[in-house]
Amino acid sequence: MAAACLVLWLGAFGVASEQATSSDRPNIVLMFPDNLGWGEVNVYGGVRGAITPRLDRLAAEGLRLNNFNVEFSCTVSRAALMTGRYAVRTGASQAAGMTLWEVTIAEALQSSGYATGLFGKWHLGGDRPENRNPSQQGFDEYYGVPRTSNESITTIAQGQTAPNTSFIWEGRSGASPRNVKPFDVDARRTVDRESVDKSVAFMERSVRDKKPFFVYYPMTQIHFPTLTHPDFVGKTGAGDIADAMAEVDSNVGRMLDAIDRLGVSRNTIVFWCADNGAEGRRPWRGSSGPWSGFYNSVMEGGIRTPCLVRWPGRIPAGRVTNELVHEIDFFPTIAAAVGADLVPHDRAIDGVNQLPFFEGKQAASSRESVLLYANAQLRAVKWHDWKLHYVYAPEAGGPAVAPLMRLFNLLSDPKEETDIKDANPWVQSVTDRIVREFTATTTRYPHVPPSAPDPYVPPKM
């Protein structure tokens, strides 16, 4: 199927803007909060009150995706987002990150003359991120957390300071990372504010230098420990997660205000989406809204996250859709918006160009199906509103539960409660074909082995 197959070529798409000449390329701002479920955002039916006015406004100004899909956990989600490839192809793992052979959105845009900056959570370098840091994957500069938020309450608390993992770091192209300060619980509270400040400064410099920019702002909120900036402690009266969501919303507003103030709104594509579904750990358990499950599972609560996309004058405002989209689609979509053939041709690319769909030039998504892996094992396939679990494991990180194969229709049964496989046996023939088509591509393009070292050289087939 076209949606599940490779993207081997992207044609050029012209870009026009009321504020830019026809030769200008759009800026890209990608905001990527951590472990944020549906029930945290007001326009998605937020359960903690109307605490996200800037996100609500962003939704009104652009496109709201109600069937946006991601990978099941932090590192693999970032690998998929950055490469346009299902993470199983990249060999990405939390222990090892991903090889430098992978081509990221940042590398592609940097090669096309973009200024590229990452401010926030990296989590693609594995146990020794200094050997796989953002400057080696296309970012001109970066600041933030090498790995993940929970290190603020474990590594430092235990008195263990492994190199570059329990510090906030920064770096630039051609230089090694520099540790800025310990990543303890106080730094955990302020890192998102610091990252948005640096993102805004980066945009200001890029506009001054008349250079198109790519800003990747992977927030640390609302991953546990969900400890918010001091300015937001107790702000909502609804607990830590609500306070953290108010901070997320405020930081989104600061980014959008900066884009407006710099006069580049109509020539800037803004993406806001979460890497995984809601946190399941108490006391910082998030809300999955109408879905079952949490992140670290392929239940809808783990892999269906909020996603908003804005491009004034190009993407119609206020549109809402339930069509399938996956985070791997961003790479080819951005390439199409830039008007350049940026997607690599020497490997399998699973993402599809969604620009015509986003712009309203076609009614349906360019994607009909999504493959859902966990720990490199195929767990489920979504096809339109059908979802067939090949290995049903409803608990985050938990064991499989018999019967392993279960079928749900997500429109009539959003919580995945009633198995209708026996009444609809034909669905498996469709999902089996999708899996076969994907598997066939691995003959020409074998998966990168998990924990493969650098330099990685793919086998000649």
**Three-state SS at 93:** strand
Per DSSP, the residues of 264-308 read -GGGEEEEEE-SS----SSSS----TTS---TTS-SHHHHB--EE
Which among 5, 74, 223, 326 is annotated as catalytic? 74
- 82 CB contacts (<8 Å, ≥6 apart)? 102, 104, 105, 106, 124, 137, 331
If you count them, how many residues does the chain have? Answer: 461
Q: Which of 123, 223, 326, 389 is catalytic?
A: 123
> Which residues, at least 6 apart from 346, have a Cβ–Cβ distance to it below 8 Å?
458
Please, how many CA atoms are within 13 Å of residue 29, restricted to the half-sphere of its CB?
A: 28
Peptide bond into 283 cis (omega under 30): yes
Question: By the 8 A CB rule, do 338 and 15 touch?
Answer: yes
- Give the other-Cβ count within 10 Å of 110's Cβ: 18
| Residue pair 137/106 in contact by the 8 Å Cβ criterion | yes
Asked about 123 being catalytic, the answer comes back as yes
Nearest partner of 75 among 36, 126, 110, 127, judged by Cα: 126
Cα 141 to Cα 116, 148, 244: the distances in Å are 7, 19, 26
- CA trace torsion 50, 55, 61, 62 (10° rounding): -120
Instruction: Give rounded-to-5 percent helix, strand, coil for the chain.
Output: 30, 15, 55
The answer to whether 345 is a known catalytic residue is no
In DSSP terms, 120 is beta-bridged to 144
| Burial (Cβ within 10 Å: 0-12, 13-18, ≥19) of residue 346 | exposed
Catalytically annotated residues: 74, 123
